[in-house]
Structure 1
Amino acid sequence: MSGLRYVYAICRPFDAALQAQVTGVDGAPPGQLSHHGLIAVVGTVPEQDFAEEPLRRHLEDLDWLSATARAHQAVIDALTAVTTPLPLRLATVFRDDAGVRAMMEERESSFHRTLDRLDGRVEWGVKIHAEAEAARPAQEPQKAASGRDYLRQRRQRNKAHEEMWESAEKFAHRLHGLLCENAEDARLHAPQNSALSRESGRNVLNASYLVPRSESEAFAELVEGVKGDESALRVELTGPWAAYSFAGLEADDEAADGAVGEAGL
């Protein structure tokens, strides 16, 4: 079967070379396809895996999906180190270069506007997790001597939990406000489900911040500086990433007529 064109991202032309060891999905090194002052970063993938029907089956295979997502992200990370990419969704695939160019033509104005807005900026992620164990008493409570003692101890435990969650939410609110003052834009995401994310504790802040690349070090230092302020909380900083949360492409993420398949990341 013939190969299909896999599109990782859209960006402006750039001179810097990508890391030599970077390979993309299915092991193919990424290439460039130019169109009207834009570059599509593309690769070739086998039709037997990425045509519509086999792709739908693959997306239910968590091992395959995870490996494909890692390869996709490796290309985006390499691009982020040298330019400002607009990442497309995982498994955005077209039958040929003509289909890719048709998509770029259709969305040209949107791509240029977004690249102007995000040029020289990166995304940082900040999560705060509150550990439920922190609300437990240092010593095990004495065995209740009566029903009244049991109810009293239960009220105390419930109060300790409520106070801990309230404190965690206040800290998250203060930190978010501080980080917003030091970022150009911010997005609050839905709290992560600990069962799905496999992170311990309750997620009380899940946010992304748009920061000029030149100010990234100072932003990271700001977050690192508050990590020890609350012993019951775990503050996690990730990035710098391509500005996924600020690209604003979701509403305009329908591919052109030449598209074979597109799956949300």
Structure 2
Amino acid sequence: MNTPETNELIYVYAFVPADEASKEKLSQLKGIDPQHDIDFYITEGLAAVICKVSADDFSEDNFKRNVEDMKWLQERAYHHHELMNRLHQAFTVLPLKFGTIYEHNGRLSEVMKTYNGQMKVILEEVKGKEEWNLKVFADRDVFSKSVLENNQTIEEKKREISNLSKGKQFFARKKLDQFINDEIQAHIKRKTETIHEELKKLSKNAEVKKNWDQKITGREDDMAWNCVYLLETGDDVDSFKKILRTYQEKSDKENEGLRFESTGPWPAYHFANFKSKSAKVKS
């Protein structure tokens, strides 16, 4: 356990191959605790990217309390995110979640030994690769006009409804509205899945994520697709961007109301997970 004399814990950002662990590349980067620089802890052919932190902020109880303070959380989460991007530019990285903390080097060393093989396999899998995220947004009003224009099935249903009695028309229109909504959803699904299949051919791996609702995005259009792709740095990334530009130009020309928004490059957050069952603060 840490003592009042030391009162220090170890914050771990990521693991990198030991043969890449050049301290010159860290260039005295400040840690999440600005009183300490970023450093390496090397063992078993791996290097943990670490920073010493105070238990006053990062012990399990204090950390749980501090993350309720949005200013404290935002500053440190932003630092973690930005440093991870810096590491990704210089090293092959197995990134860890914000707030991964160990009490001492012995416990960190034990984890690096226990999961050594798994971590080395993951590092080899993500070497020379980067993660990209694609979100597709749909303006339903605009997209529905594109779908419904000259839709013979819907026009036929409307004609059938016009020949019904007024009482039956009410329920028939309700059914038609549901049919139209289903038709729009089906068109959006086919469109996004077609794009996904094309992008998968470029990707070493892909993971479909849950769409966010408007409360999270703060947007008026709907998120229709959310996926992360693991791409080889270089030509595959260029091809990925080119495909999305082509689809965006086509959508704009046909006034579909779709927006294709990609972000990256990121470390392979979704493709570099190793299964540690340790607690938040590892003793």
TM-score, length of structure 1 as denominator length:
0.82
Instruction: Name the amino acid aligned to 2:210.
Output: A
Match status 1:2 vs 2:23 = no
Q: Tell me the SS of whatever aligns to 1:234.
A: strand
Paired letter, 1:221: K
2:56 and 2:72 mapped to 1: Cα distance? 14
Q: 1:136 to 1:186 in 2, by over 3 A?
A: closer
**Which stretch of structure 1 is more off in the superposition, 25-34 or 146-155?**
146-155
Pair 1:168–1:241, CA change in 2 (3 A): same
Q: In structure 1, the residue corresponding to 2:41 is in which secondary structure?
A: strand
Report the equivalent of 1:185. 205
Instruction: Name the structure 1 match of 2:191.
Output: 171
- Answer whether contact 2:248 2:259 (CA < 8 A) is retained: yes
| TM-score, normalised via structure 2 length | 0.77
SS at match of 2:33: helix
Return closer, same or farther for 1:152/1:24 CA change in 2, 3 Å cut-off: farther
**TM alignment of 1:39-188, pairs within 5 A:** 39-134=47-142, 161-188=181-208
Structure 1 Cα separation of the partners of residues 40 and 76 of structure 2? 20
Kindly name which structure, 1 or 2, has the bigger radius of gyration based on alpha carbons. 2
Q: Which stretches in structure 2 are left out of the alignment for 5+ residues? A: 1-5, 147-165
Does 1:232 pair with 2:239? no
Q: In the alignment, what sits opposite 2:162?
A: none
Contact residue 138 and residue 259 of structure 2 kept, 8 A: yes
Taking the aligned partners of 1:169 and 1:21, their CA distance within structure 2 comes to 48
Q: CA offsets, 1:144-202, max 9 Å, x none?
A: xx999998987776665444333222110110000001111111111122212334322
RMSD: 3.0
- In the TM superposition, what is the alpha-carbon distance from 1:237 to its structure 2 partner? 0.3
User: Aligned pairs, how many?
Assistant: 251
Which whole-Å CA distance do the structure 2 matches of 1:246 and 1:131 have between them?
31
Counterpart code for 2:10: R
CA contact 2:137–2:223 (8 Å) conserved in 1: yes
Is the alpha carbon distance of 1:191 and 1:17 closer, same or farther for their aligned partners in structure 2, counting shifts above 3 Å?
farther
* Structure-2 separation of matches of 1:21 and 1:127: 36
Greater fraction helix:
2
- The residue number in structure 2 matching 1:259 is 282
Q: SS state of the match for residue 81, structure 1?
A: helix
- SS of the residue corresponding to residue 29 of structure 1 reads coil
- Measure how far apart 1:235 and its partner are: 0.9
Cα deviations by residue, 1:236-260 (Å, 9 ceiling, x for unpaired):
10111111111132xx132389715
